Chains A and B, each alone.
Chain A
Amino acid sequence: MKPLGILFLKTLVAILLGLGVMTARAAEQPNIVLILADDLGFTDIAPYGSEISTPSLAALANEGIRFTNFHTAASCAPSRAMLLTGVDNHRAGVASIPEAIPPEQSGSASYQGVLGNNVVTVASLLEGAGYHTYMAGKWHLGKEKHQLPSRRGFERTVVMADTGADNWEQKPYIPIYKKANWFADGEEMELPEDFYSSRFLIDKTIEFIDSNRDDGQPFFAYVPFQAVHIPVQAPQEFIDRYRGVYDVGWEQLREDRLAKAVELGVVPEGVGMVNMSTTQDWDALSDARKRYEAKRMAVYGGMVEAMDFHIGRLIEYLKATGQYDNTLFIFTSDNGTEVSGPLNPEAARTRFLLRNQGYSTEYETLGLKGSFNSISPSFASASASPLAFYKFYAGEGGMRVPLIIAGQSVSGLTIPDKGKLNHALAYVTDITPTILSLAGVDAPGGRFGGRPVERMIGRNLMPLIEGDVERVYSEDDVIGYEVGGNAALFRGDYKIVINRGPVGDSAWHLYHIVNDPGETEDLAEAMPERMQIMMRAYEHYVVENEVLPVPPGYAQLSQGGINGLRDAYGKQLLVLLVSIMILVIFLVMARSIHRR
C-alpha cells in the first residue's frame, strides 16, 4: 500500500477509536443533579429531624447517604464559589458577598465578591468532558454579562444574579436593588406572569434536560433554589399544611427537633444546646404575636415542602424518561438559617419600609404574592437545632448543613450503606472533586484554558461514600474558614471558632464538634496545646489565603445596606451634589454681579 493510503487508514482507525472511547465514556458517565437550597437550616428537612414533610429528599436519603458533619460557608456567595470550584473562597475572589465588602478590603483581588478568572468551575470541566451543563436558579457570583454562568461553563442558563428576589414576581426584595436581575443564557429576561420560583426553576431544568435527551451525552444540572431565602413565600396549599404546627413556639420546636435528630442518629445522644441571646421568651408573647409568629414559620415550612415537591417533579420526570437510574443527586444548602428577619414585622417602622417596596405583612396573606415574610431569629435558632448561631456566623448553626448524596444505580458507584448516616468531616470544597471523580474528569493542575488557575483544595468524597475509608481528612488535616471576620478552623473532631458582634463575643473558642455539635463546652482552657496548634494553623491559613482583617466596628448586615444604597443610588447622589455645587456657584456669582 502506498504511504498516503497507510496514513489515511491510520487516521481513520484513530478517529474511529476516538469515537469509540468517547461513546463508551458517555455511556459510563452519570448524569449529575446538584441541588442547592438557600438558607436551609440543619434540621429543616425530615431526614435530619424536621417536622416539615420532605418525601422527595427522604427518598433520596434512603437511596443514598446523609452526611451529618458537612460544613459550608456561613454566607451565600462564598459558599457558592467554593461549591463550584473546590477552591477557598478568598482565592476564588469571593472572600465575602459583594454587597458587604467594606472599602478597606475592596481593593484586594480576593475581595471582589465575583468569581475570579483564576478559578475553573465544575461546569467548565464537565462541559469539556462532553457533558451538557445546565443551571436554573440563583447565581450571586457576579451580574455583569461576562461574569454570568453562561460564561462560566454552563451551556443553558436561567439565573437570578442577586442575593435574593421575590418568589412570585420579578421584583427586588430589598431597596438596594432597582430590579430583580434575571438572565436567560446571558441576556436580561422577563419572568412569566405565573411565576413561582421553585416551580419555575424545575420547569426550566426539565426543559433544558429534555432538549438534549436523546443525544447520548450526559448532563450536569445545577439547581440553586431561591427557597428558603427571604422573602419567605409559598403557595397557599403548602402553607395550610403547617397551620397550628408551630403554635408550640420556638423553644419547644428546638427541643423537638433535637429529640428527632438524636432518634435518627444525626447527632449523638446527650447533645447540649445553647440558648441564643436573640431568642425571645415565647411565653412572654401576646396571643396575637404568637399567632403571627406561628404563621411566619408555617409559611417557611410550606416553602421548604414546596421546594421538595418540585424536586419530586424532577425525579419523576427522570424516572419517566429512563434517566433516573444513571443520575447522581447531591442536595445541600449554601449556609445555615437566615436570621435577618425583623423581630416584629408588624411594627410600624417595618411596615412602613416594606410598604415603600410594595410589600404587605398582613397576617391573612402572609407568604402570598405581594407579602413579605421571614422568620425571626428565634425560629431561626429552632431551624438550626441543636446547633448554636445561624447564617453569617461561624458557629455550627451557620456552617453545618444537610448533605445528601444519592444515586444507587449510577454506573461505577457503589453505596454499601445506603440510607445510612456518615459522620465524617466534609467541606463544601469537596463537592467539585467528588463530582469530577465520579464523572472521570481530571481536576485542573495549575493551568486551564491557557491561563494559570488555582488548584482545588477539596477532597474527593467517593472513598467515603463507597465505604472504603472512615474519613477523608486525617486527624491532622485542617480546613480554614473566614467570612466577614467570623472565622473557624477544623482539625480532626475539633474546631476553633470566633464570632463577632452583635451576637458573638469576638473571642476564640475550642469545641469537640462530634461529641458537642451544639458548641456548649469551650475546651480552650482544658486543651491549651491543641488550641495553640489550631490557632497557629489559622494564622497560616490567613497568610496563605490573604485574609484581610475587617475594619473596626464592621457589621456585615449594615455594610451590606450601605454598599447596596451606594450602588443603587450613588450616582444619583453624585449628580445631585454636583448640581447643587453648580447652582450655588451660580447664585454667588449672580449676587456678586447684581451688587456691583
Chain B
Amino acid sequence: MINKVLRVVAALPGILFVVMGVRWVIDPAAAAAGIGMPLLEGVGLSTQIGDLGAFFLTMGLLILIGVTTLRRVWFYPPIMLLGLAASFRIIAWLVHGAALAGSLIAAEIIIATLLLVSTLRLCEKDRT
C-alpha cells in the first residue's frame, strides 16, 4: 500500500515537469516568468525554448518511466539534475551575486529526496 502511494507521489513531479516542458514550447513567456526569468530574444529565446523545454520534458518523462518500470537507472538522471541544479543555485548565490532562490532550491531538494526514497523503496529488486 505504501509503495503504491509512493509511486503516485513520485509520479506527480514527473507530470509537473512534463507540463513545464510543454509550457516552454507553447507559452514561453509564462514559463519564464514562472521561474523568475525574463524572456530573451533571438538566439537566447531559441536556447530558452529548446534547452529548457527539452530539460523539463525529458526529466518528467524519465521520472514517469522510472515509476512505471520500477528500474532505478531511470531515476538517477532526474536525481542528479535536481541535485546539481540546487547545488549550482547555491554556488550562483555565493559566487556570482545571484539571488538566493530559496523556494526553488527547496523544491528541487525535496523532489530529489523523494525520488531517492522512491528508488530505494520501489526498486529493491532491481540491481541495475
Contact = CB atoms under 8 A, between A and B. Distances in A.
Interface of A: 571-572, 574-576, 578-579, 582-583, 586, 590, 593-594
A574 B19 CA distance: 10
B22 A590 contact: no
A389 B116 CA distance: 68
A579 B19 CA distance: 5
B65 interface: yes
Interface stretch (B23-31, B76-84, B88-96, B104-112): B23-31
Contacts of A571: 26-27, 30
21 contacts: A571-B27, A571-B30, A574-B26, A574-B27, A575-B19, A575-B23, A575-B26, A575-B27, A576-B19, A578-B26, A579-B19, A582-B57, A582-B61, A583-B15, A586-B65, A590-B64, A590-B65, A590-B68, A590-B69, A594-B68, A594-B69
Interface string B5-27: 00000000001001100110111
B68 A582 contact: no
A582 B18 contact: yes
A586 B22 contact: no
A586 B61 contact: yes
Nearest to B65: A590
A583 B64 contact: yes
A39 to B, nearest CB: 33
Contact of A586 (B19, B23, B26, B64): B64
Given A579-B15, A582-B57, A590-B65, 5 more contacts: A575-B19, A575-B23, A583-B15, A590-B68, A593-B69
Contacts, number: 37
Contacts of A578: 22, 25-26
**Which label, helix, strand, loop or mixed, suits the secondary structure of the B interface?**
helix
A590 B23 CA distance: 23
Contacts of A586: 61, 64-65
Contact of B18 (A574, A583, A593, A594): A583
A589 to B, nearest CB: 9
A586 to B, nearest CB: 6
B6 to A, nearest CB: 18
A590 B64 CA distance: 9
B89 to A, nearest CB: 25
A586 B15 CA distance: 11
Nearest to B30: A571
A578 B65 CA distance: 18
Contacts of A579: 15, 18-19, 22
Contacts of A572: 27, 30
Contacts of B23: 575
The 6 closest A-B pairs by CB, nearest first: A571-B27, A590-B68, A579-B19, A575-B23, A578-B22, A579-B22
Contacts of A574: 26-27
A582 B21 CA distance: 11
Contacts of A576: 19
A373 B114 CA distance: 49
B73 to A, nearest CB: 15
A240 B12 CA distance: 55
A61 to B, nearest CB: 49
Contacts of B64: 583, 586, 590
A588 to B, nearest CB: 11
A258 B71 CA distance: 82
A586 B64 CA distance: 8
B4 to A, nearest CB: 16
Contacts of B30: 571-572
A104 B26 CA distance: 24
Interface in B25-39: 25-27, 30
A582 B23 CA distance: 13
A582 B25 CA distance: 13
**Max chain B C-beta neighbours (<10 A), residue from A574, A575, A578, A586:** A575
A593 B64 CA distance: 14
**Max chain B C-beta neighbours (<10 A), residue from A572, A574, A576, A586:** A586
A100 B30 CA distance: 25
Contacts of B26: 571, 574-575, 578
Nearest to A571: B27
Interface string B52-67: 0000010001001100
Contacts of B69: 590, 593-594
